[in-house]
Structures are given as structure tokens and as C-alpha cells.
Amino acid sequence: MMAKRLWIKQPLACFDGTQHIESNGIVIEGNTIVEVLAAQQLPSRPCEKVFDARQHVVLPGLINTHHHFYQTLTRAWGPVINQPLFPWLQTLYPVWAKLTPQALRVASEVALAELLLSGCTTTSDHHYLFPVGMEEAIDIQVAAVNHLGMRATLSRGSMSLGEKSGGLPPEETVQAAEAILHDSQRLIDRYHDSREGAMINIALAPCSPFSVTPEIMRESAMLAKEKGVRLHTHLAETLDEEAFCLQRFGLRTVDYLESVGWLSQRTWLAHGIHFNDEEISRLGKEGVAISHCPVSNMRLASGICRTLDLLDAGATISLGVDGSASNDASNMMYEARQALYLQRLRYGTQTITPELVLGWATRGGAKTLGRTDIGEIKVGKQADFALFTLEDIRFSGSHDPLAALLLCGADRADRVMVAGKWRVIEGEIVNIDLPALLNHHRAAAKNLINL
């Protein structure tokens, strides 16, 4: 039986992942783009369904490459509002150590819902907290992603270097290497889908140089290579981290990365701020990807990622919202707007354009996650789209529809499609009782702080 054809007809503007294109629309069969029409072109044969997009700016579904879903429970928490990264972490670790499966489920669903409403169709998450009772944390996240109908690369994080051994995390949050590797293999075997159109991928993600041992970094790299999955970690986020690496390992961050077998195309790094010229050259040569997290970097005063230098060297740049305790939002359009402005401070207005940044949020995100089937509006790609209207007061008087999304501050999509299915219609998530979800989430957040 042939899949029904849908024509997203005559969009107000269309961005294909690289540039604005003049298009009469996009034709979809099932979950796949089968035609991208030229300005006056009609579909090659009739379509059973037509969506009039004359009021919509159409983008590829946005792709978030760094997050911590559970942190939606500790947004804007008073004791850490004015702290930099290390004290921020040390204050929050004891709170996060009390996480329960029920709290993680509702935290994940809220993070996913917020992302989806902002036009995000594919997200990653870096979950590294596995205290007693949380052994199936990634399984809980898989269920949440499936419930929202999104795509995700779920990173099996880990912390194995506790306070007693010179690390930052409290002992109740660390795991033995054996347990980490056993669960990593279980999750890959059970959930990782390497086919085109996959909804769930698994990655391996020891948390950071100051929370895991070199041994778990090496073992994770070997397992990832054996199983064909990607590697993710925090690196070069702050000068404190650089000092930690020098003191503990006698190495700068990129030298440490190479020493544990992580300097490869399989790797993507969160933040990637404090690299020197030689390190940027090495990262680019090896094809490492960077998830730029501008809001978190500003919130914690960590620094500004050298995006264009990394791109020129051959690295890939994407965008990540980071955890919702250091942002404190999970909104990809908000993140893209901040990336535009923060990067203009470093490189100027003429080089950091809305098209460049939207490319980081789409095509760059796909490449970062090792995917060739999403992130672009092209024939053969997956039917993942974010559609925005310009009806709100903030857009009144705007002239360039694509630039207006960032310059005027679009933050909520009118329609979102994932794998050929509408997941957001008229700004509301399909089949999700959002008020009820938020009530459960607020109660879980209050309970976590008061435990």
C-alpha cells in the first residue's frame, strides 16, 4: 500500500538547512521528503492532503545536541543563581542525588515538551546520575521520548571519580566501572537503532575529566568503537577544568582527550570553550564536533566558544540548550538567538548571520549526532519540520521572515512534524495534557528540594 502524499504548500519562507530557498512547497510520502518544489513548480502527481503554509516559515526540525533533562527540576534555585560551574555543581550534586525514577520521568517529559514546542524534533540528553534506585534511568528516558513522539540520542553518562578519590561528585553518585560498562552494553543492544529514520540512538558519555577516571574513558571509547556508537563528554568548559586536568593528569584538556582515545570523528564535546590555536587545529583535523551552549556559558560566565575558528579548522558546530539548571530553559529558538548575538560579539555582524546559526541548529546538529537523514529539507531526508507564524506582536513590522525568527525572538512553533506526523498543531502538543504534566512536575521539583 502506497503512503499518502502531503503537500506543505507555498510556504512564506523556507530554509533548507543551509540557505533560504524560493519554494512552492514540500511533498511528503510517509516519513520521507519526496519533492522539494521550485518557486512555480507543482507536485508531480496529486496529493491526498494539502497544508496551506502561506503564513508559515518552514525550517528543518531543530536538533539539540546537549541537555540534562533531569535538571528541569532545579531551575532558578536560589543557592546557585550566582555561582560559577564548580561551586554550582558541588551545591547541586547532593540535591540531584535524591532523584527518583518518577521524578526523572516527569522531568524528561517537561524538557521534551518544551523542546518540541520550540521546534525541536531531535534531541540528545546526557544523563550521568545513577544513585541507588536509578539504575534504569535511560530506560525511563526512552519511554518519555517515545511518549512525545520525538527522536533522541540518549547518552549513557557516568561518574566514577568521587570526592574521596579527588573528583567533584559525592560518593553516592558514582558507580563502579564494571556496572557502567555492563549497563552501557545492555542499552546499546536493547535500544540503539542505526538505520535511517531511527527514533532512538544510544551514545556513551562519561561525564567530565573531573568526575570520571581515565580508565572508564578508555573502556567507553573501545566499547563505542566496537558497537558503532558515538562518544560524548563535557570538555574545556571552564578554566577550573583546565587547571584540574593539568594538576591531576599533567595534561591540557585536548591532550587528555587524545590520551584516552577520544580524539576522533566519533566524538562530540559539550561547550569546548578554552582551546588554544593548536588544539583547535587538532580537533578540526580529527573531525571532532562541538555542541555550543551559549546561554549556559553566559549564565555561568564560562566563556565564549571559538565557533568560526573551529569551523575553519574542520570541526562541526551545533547548538545545545544544556541543563535546565544552567540555562534555565529548554528552548532551541531561544538558544539560536543567543548564539547569534554572543558570537557576533566575537566575530562581528557580517560573518555571524541568521542562516549560519540556523544551520548549526539543523544541519550541524545532524552531523554532530552522526546522522545523514535529518537536519535538511532535501529529497530523501526524513519529514521533520518546524513551522513558525509571524502573527505575534513581536513580528509586527518585520520584513525578512527568516531573519525575523531570530531577530524578533520566535520562541514557539505553530506546527511541528516528526517522521511525517504532526506532533504540534496550532502551538499545542498532540495528545499531551500539558497542564497536568506541569502540575506533576512542579510537585516533583518542590519535593526534590525539600527531601
Q: What is the mean pLDDT of residues 263-283?
A: 98
Q: Are residues 260 and 329 in the same domain?
A: yes
Q: What is the mean pLDDT of residues 233-253?
A: 96
Residue 24 has pLDDT above 70, yes or no: yes
Q: Are residues 400 and 301 in the same domain?
A: no
Residue 26 has pLDDT above 70, yes or no: yes
Q: Are residues 395 and 310 in the same domain?
A: no
Q: What is the mean pLDDT of residues 35-54?
A: 97
Q: Which of 85, 79, 327 is nearest to 208 (CA)?
A: 85
Q: Which of 169, 165, 247 is nearest to 206 (CA)?
A: 169
Q: Which of 410, 406, 440 is nearest to 427 (CA)?
A: 410
The pLDDT assigned to 3 comes to: 79
What CATH number is given to the structural domain containing 119?
Answer: 3.20.20.140
Residue 276 included in any domain = yes
Residue 179 has pLDDT above 90, yes or no: yes
Helix-then-strand count for the chain, H and E: 15, 19
176, exposed or middle or buried, with CB in 10 Å at 0-12, 13-18, 19+? exposed
Residue 29 has pLDDT above 70, yes or no: yes
Residue 361 included in any domain = yes
Assigned C-alpha cell, 178: 564494571
What's the total number of domains in the chain?
A: 2
Q: What is the mean pLDDT of residues 252-267?
A: 98
Distance, in Å, from the CA atom of 406 to the CA atom of 422, rounded to the nearest integer, reads: 23
- Map residue 100 onto helix, strand or coil: coil
Q: Are residues 178 and 44 in the same domain?
A: no
DSSP labels for 285-325?
HHT-EEEE-HHHHHHTT-----HHHHHHHT-EEEE----TT
Residue 441 included in any domain = no
Pairing of strands 62-64, 415-418: unpaired
**Across the strands, what pairs with 60?**
385
Residue 101 has pLDDT above 90, yes or no: yes
Q: What pLDDT band is residue 451 in, cutting at 50, 70 and 90? A: confident
Residues 6+ apart with CB under 8 A from 377: 14, 15, 16, 17, 21, 26, 33, 36, 58, 60, 385
Give the residue numbers spanning the domain of 210: 62-368
Neighbours of 442 (CB within 10 A): 13
Residue 444 has pLDDT above 90, yes or no: yes
Q: What is the mean pLDDT of the chain?
A: 97
Q: Are residues 36 and 102 in the same domain?
A: no
Residues 6+ apart with CB under 8 A from 171: 162, 163, 164
Residue 447 included in any domain = no
Residue 288 has pLDDT above 80, yes or no: yes
Residue 436 included in any domain = no
Q: Are residues 324 and 290 in the same domain?
A: yes
Residue 164 included in any domain = yes
> What is the distance, to the nearest Å, from the Cα of residue 209 to the centroid of all Cα atoms in its chain?
21
Residue 223 has pLDDT above 70, yes or no: yes
Question: Each residue of 124-153: pLDDT tens digit?
Answer: 999 999 999 999 999 999 999 999 999 999
Residue 2 has pLDDT above 80, yes or no: no
Residue 1 has pLDDT above 70, yes or no: no
What CATH number is given to the structural domain containing 49?
Answer: 2.30.40.10
Q: Are residues 182 and 283 in the same domain?
A: yes
Neighbours of 164 (CB within 10 A): 9
Q: Are residues 101 and 166 in the same domain?
A: yes
Q: Are residues 14 and 68 in the same domain?
A: no
Residue 191 has pLDDT above 80, yes or no: yes
Q: Are residues 69 and 55 in the same domain?
A: no
User: For the sheet containing 5-9, what is the strand order?
Assistant: 32-37, 25-29, 5-9, 49-52
Residue 302 included in any domain = yes
Q: Are residues 395 and 304 in the same domain?
A: no
Q: Are residues 138 and 273 in the same domain?
A: yes
Question: Each residue of 368-384: pLDDT tens digit?
Answer: 999 999 999 999 999 99
